[in-house]
Amino acid sequence: MSARGPGNKKAMTSPLVIAIDGTSASGKSTTARRVARHFGYTYVDTGAMYRTLAWHCVMKHMDLHDEKAVAAVCRKWKTSLVNVDHHVRMLVDGYFPESEIRTSEATAAVAIVAANTKVREWMKTLQQSCIQFGNLVMEGRDIGTAIFPDTDFKFYLDAPLAERSKRRWADGVQEDLAKRDHSDSQRASNPLMIPLGAMVINNSGLTIEQTCQLIVDEVNRRLAARNY
């Protein structure tokens, strides 16, 4: 990839957000991290935020289906956002549960927690506050539709279910992706959908490098077209 990013007055005074949405195991995280590194932007993994809440609720032995109780946690727990090496981390009582949120227990719980309307409202405010860290590459499932719907840089990654399932198994993660896809697309609050104006990338058969290059090229094209 050629190293190029916005450097004019508009980009510097108004933080730019590259939104990367998509289905589970579509390569959002790896792609977003590399695109962020390429442009020198800050990377935000919104899925990790939901996983952190899911992990916290599991640790508290809560009934995840008790929506009021789970939503109450968001109002009570002590969280903060920090930027470490251009990577936003969500701390709980000053602690970053980096490995804990990737366990099978957290993975099983996150879809339930993420479907909670009040949780999504709380997360929206938190995630929008990440703009304090400057230019962002933010990945998730509703970035281009709910969190930063006005950004000019929206991308949606996808691949066939069979291909995405292979990726999960290769990572040693057991997850019912068909069930997660249904949950994400059918939830009442900010369901997973292709954002208006997004570039859709079916990356089946593409390498991470090829997927990243498509995004970098499109970002540069849109930057030039809008005279950023």
Note the pLDDT tens digit of each residue in 39-76. 999 999 999 999 999 999 999 999 999 999 999 999 99
Tokens of 49: 């935020």
pLDDT at 3 over 50: no
Q: Tell me how far the alpha carbon of residue 73 is from its chain's centroid.
A: 21
Q: Which of 12-21, 122-131, 136-145 has the lowest mean pLDDT?
A: 12-21
Q: Which CATH architecture has domain 9-225?
A: 3-Layer(aba) Sandwich (3.40)
Are 177 and 24 in contact by the 8 Å Cβ rule? The answer is yes
**Given this model, what pLDDT does residue 4 score?**
40
- Whether 10 has a pLDDT exceeding 70, the answer reads no
Q: Which of the four pLDDT bands, split at 50, 70 and 90, describes residue 176?
A: confident
Question: If residue 32 lies in a helix (H) or strand (E), which one and from where to where?
Answer: helix 28-39
- Domains of the chain by residue range: 9-225
Predicted pLDDT of residue 180: 80
Matching residue, tokens 């990338």: 201
